[in-house]
Amino acid sequence: MIRTVIKWVLISAVILLILLWLWAGGFTSVRNFVRTIPNPLDIIWGNATSTYQINLPWQQAIPQGPDISGLTDAGDAQLDQTPDEQSGTTGATAQTSYGVPSPYRGMVTLSQANATESGTAHEYIGLDAREGISAVPLTGWSLQSMVSGVRVPIPGAAAPFIIGVVNQLSPVVLSPGHSALVVTGPSPVGVSFRENRCTGFLEQVQSFEPSLANACPASSELAPLTAENLHQYGSDCMDFARSLPQCSFPTNLPSSLTPGCRAYLVNTFTYSNCVDIERSRSSFELDTWRIYLSSASELWDNQHDIIRLLDAQGRTVAAISY
């Protein structure tokens, strides 16, 4: 009697499971699943184009990185358009890919420069202000890697940089046609700065990547051939001074030079003296800024990355991918 009852209970359970399976679309589900399986012969011979993949119950899903499908080179072209102008792209899709486009877009561009180099001192990207625009203050702006998610602010800079004092930093302002090199690591002189007609002297005592422009005043400008100088230091001293290359300190001074001449040369051909003499001239400031993010580790991937320039409200000014 008990065996009979158990038998009918099992049969009823099986029938109930079959009915539930049919009610849930059993045959339809099987049919749809089978249609997704590629031809086994195609898989064997390597002709399958399907992305079908079988995962065993104990296998874990392969982790995926951030979705950067909207930030390819084709996506960069979309950034230069409004959402309504993007073919088949809604405003919501554009904001997902880039965030809200900035009113400054098209005014400042990004360049890859040395983003793939190893070492924070050698890793840098470029910013360029286009011609025919108003000056663009980078107050509150930042740079972001869309691969790692790291976002770093653009710091203020000294203009000009002064040796031996606490420099006052002000926002970087890119005038039309001006540029900035944004280096990942710390500054060799402690702060970001705008290049000027004297910064070539800094290259003699520090290592910069890339090298600073060798655009110092000529030696004859720093040590002019005046009657006063000739009387005080002598002809030999002035001839030696005028023979010095641009942006160089006097070394290996001839023994024939007087102590007064030696002191004059050492004090004249310096970065600080050059700044004192030149800073009042309209041509003193150059068109390039050196911005240092002071990061202890690299910010941009050495193989592939997508970098965004963001304004103070977090809106996208420009984006590059490599």
% of the chain surpassing 70 pLDDT: 73
- Per-residue tokens: 131: 């011609």
Are residues 120 and 141 located together in one domain of the fold? yes
Q: Does 253 fall in a domain?
A: no
The CA distance from 8 to 191, in Å, is 86
In the chain, the amino acid numbered 282 is S
pLDDT tier at 183, thresholds 50, 70, 90 = very high
The whole domain housing 76 covers 69-101
- The reply to whether 96 and 168 lie within a common domain is no
Is residue 160 a contact partner of residue 193, using CB atoms and an 8 Å limit? yes
pLDDT digits 0-9 by tens, 219-248? 999 999 999 999 999 999 999 999 999 999
Q: What is the pLDDT of residues 98-109, one digit of tens each?
A: 678 999 999 999
Residue 83 lies in a domain: yes
Alpha-carbon Rg for the chain, nearest whole angstrom, is 34
DSSP string, 219-248: HHHHS---HHHHHHH-HHHHHHHHHSPTT-
205, part of any domain: no
pLDDT band at residue 63 under the 50/70/90 scheme: very low
Looking at per-residue confidence, does 180 or 97 come out higher?
Answer: 180
Q: Reduced to 3 states, what is the DSSP secondary structure of residue 96? A: helix
The verdict on residue 74 lying in a domain is yes
Q: Is residue 149 part of a domain?
A: yes
Its pTM surpasses 0.75: no
Pairing of strands 179-183, 285-292: parallel
Q: Within this chain, do residues 137 and 86 fall inside the same structural domain, yes or no?
A: no
**For the chain, what is the mean pLDDT?**
82
Q: Is 72 strand, coil or helix?
A: coil
- Residue 53: inside a domain: no
Pairwise CA distance, residues 283 & 215, whole Å: 11
Which one is predicted more confidently, 109 or 36? 109
Report how many domains make up the chain: 2
Residues 94 and 176 in one domain: no
- Greater confidence, 272 or 37? 272
Residue 162 is part of a domain; what is its CATH number? 2.60.40.1260
Please tell me the predicted confidence (pLDDT) of residue 23.
64
Answer yes or no: is 58 within a domain.
no
Q: How confident is the model at residue 18 (pLDDT cuts 50, 70, 90)?
A: confident
Answer yes or no: do 80 and 149 share one domain: no
Residue 161 domain-assigned? Answer: yes
Is the Cβ–Cβ distance between 286 and 197 less than 8 Å? yes
167 pLDDT exceeds 80? yes
- The reply to whether 106 and 182 lie within a common domain is yes
Distance CA 318, CA 322 (A): 14
